[in-house]
């Protein structure tokens, strides 16, 4: 945006370098009029560029609103992603605990099978060392019936014990197969959860970077808008001072060329010597926003409100607060359609947010106190129909209330 406004400052510097000649070399009213016409042309060009700057600022504001909405949505997504990461970490802890328990069960089953295998192998080794003896030989070698019963009972116990051991081993071996499958499944699940957690964490980090970029973009847009507003106002004041100086020079030239018209000219644009300005509206109106520092309703930053806002219906007549000469009657940055009157003595009054086609005077016109000069609207940086009214002394805004008369 500064590149857009820079040519205007260059133009102002060039105008300033040629506009005001040495006072010792008086110019004719014709020469001064040419300079006034050139200044008007520059003002028209400036007004057009300011309107374009206003449109760009409005576009930036929309971008700000959209970026703010995007930022809110991004923060919501980040919360969802953060909750997902937390949930995955909880699942990972749970699967880890289950995996540990399954591993313990697997180890215990394998220990039991190993212990039984050792017992069976010990029995087989003993039978091998003592020679192979069948169960029938043991029974038939009984010395009495009672011995026969004892041997039969003992053999039954041995056979039952072997059967129990073998069945238990079969169950534990089957359990080992199941537990190994569970471990593999849980390891695969754990690997998947870790991958999902890493992906979610990476997404969260990318969203955080995007959030930082959005915030930086919003800050940059706000600073750009402030720059547009400050630079544009500086141009308005510079051109208005140029016009004021040219008007003063024109008056002096006309007085020198025609002394007889000096009194009439002075009557047309009398110098304001203090006192009270007239109320600038055809109705009483209500002061909806006073002069002073506030949070700007458009830019959302603290800045000086350089005048007072007087609420009034669209189309309400705006009146000249004092007799004077029209310095500005065009679009200005932030103010929308604007009229600025020069009352002499360094006093100006500003009238902003005039509706489209609502300016009723031309630059260079002389107006009387109370004369209709425009109509209330809501152009420029405005949130509703009202008149923005300022009093400036030597180009600097001051609280207008001490200068306003009764409604």
User: Any idea which residue has 């051991």 for tokens?
Assistant: 165
The pTM assigned to this predicted structure is: 0.46
Spans of all domains in the chain: 1-268, 270-407
Question: Right CATH number for 1-268 from 1.10.287, 1.10.1740, 1.10.10, 2.40.50?
Answer: 1.10.287
Residue 174: its pLDDT value, please? 78
Alpha-carbon distance 106 to 109, whole Å? 5
* Four-residue CA torsion sign, 184, 187, 191, 192: positive
Question: Which residue from 360, 363, 330 is spatially nearest to 250, judged by alpha carbons?
Answer: 363
Is there a common fold for 1-268 and 270-407? no
Alpha-carbon distance 319 to 64, whole Å? 37
Residue 139: its pLDDT value, please? 56
Residue 306: its pLDDT value, please? 93
393 within 8 A of 347, measured Cβ to Cβ: yes
Question: What is the signed CA dihedral for 107, 108, 110, 111, rounded to 10 degrees?
Answer: 110
Residue 77: count other Cβ atoms within 10 Å of its Cβ.
Answer: 15
Alpha-carbon distance 215 to 209, whole Å? 10
Q: What is the SS3 assignment for 297?
A: coil
Residues facing residue 326 across a β-bridge: 341
- Assigned superfamily of 270-407: Glucose Permease (Domain IIA) (2.70.70.10)
- Token digits of residue 193: 């959860």
Residue 185: its pLDDT value, please? 82
Residue 3: its pLDDT value, please? 39
The parts of the chain modelled with pLDDT lower than 50 are 1-24, 130-132, 259-269
């Amino acid at each position: 945006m500064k590149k857009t406004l820079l040519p205007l400052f260059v133009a102002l510097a060039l105008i300033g370098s040629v506009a005001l000649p040495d006072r010792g070399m008086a110019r004719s009213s014709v020469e001064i009029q040419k300079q006034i016409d050139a200044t008007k042309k520059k003002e028209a060009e400036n007004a057009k560029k300011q309107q374009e700057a206003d449109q760009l600022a409005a576009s930036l504001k929309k971008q700000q609103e959209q970026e703010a909405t995007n930022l809110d949505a991004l923060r919501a997504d980040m919360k969802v992603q953060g909750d997902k990461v937390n949930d995955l970490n909880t699942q990972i802890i749970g699967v880890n605990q289950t995996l540990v328990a399954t591993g313990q069960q697997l180890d215990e089953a394998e220990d039991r099978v190993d212990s039984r295998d050792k017992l069976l192998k010990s029995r087989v080794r003993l039978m091998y060392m003592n020679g192979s003896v069948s169960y029938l030989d043991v029974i038939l070698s009984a010395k009495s019936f009672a011995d026969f019963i004892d041997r039969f009972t003992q053999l039954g116990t041995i056979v039952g014990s072997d059967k129990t051991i073998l069945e238990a081993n079969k169950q534990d071996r089957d359990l080992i197969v199941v537990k190994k499958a569970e471990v593999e499944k849980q390891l695969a699940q754990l690997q998947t959860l870790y991958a999902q957690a890493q992906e979610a964490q990476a997404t969260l980090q990318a969203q955080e970077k995007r959030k930082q970029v959005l915030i930086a973009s919003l800050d940059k847009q706000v600073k750009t808008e402030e720059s547009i507003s400050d630079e544009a106002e500086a141009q308005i004041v510079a051109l208005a001072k140029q016009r004021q100086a040219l008007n003063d020079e024109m008056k002096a030239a006309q007085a020198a060329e025609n002394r007889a018209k000096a009194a009439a000219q002075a009557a047309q644009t009398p110098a304001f010597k203090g006192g009270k300005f007239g109320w600038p509206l055809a109705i009483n109106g209500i002061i909806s926003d006073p002069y002073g520092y506030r949070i700007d309703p458009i830019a959302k930053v603290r800045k000086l409100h350089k005048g007072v806002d007087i609420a009034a219906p669209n189309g309400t007549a705006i009146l000249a607060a004092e007799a004077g000469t029209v310095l500005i009657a065009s679009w200005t940055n932030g103010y929308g359609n604007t009229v600025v009157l020069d009352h002499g003595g360094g006093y100006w009054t500003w009238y902003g947010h005039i509706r489209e086609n609502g300016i009723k005077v031309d630059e260079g016109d002389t107006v009387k106190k109370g004369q209709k000069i425009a109509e209330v609207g809501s152009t420029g940086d405005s949130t509703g129909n009202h008149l923005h009214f300022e009093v400036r002394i030597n180009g600097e805004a001051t609280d207008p209330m001490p200068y306003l008369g009764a409604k």
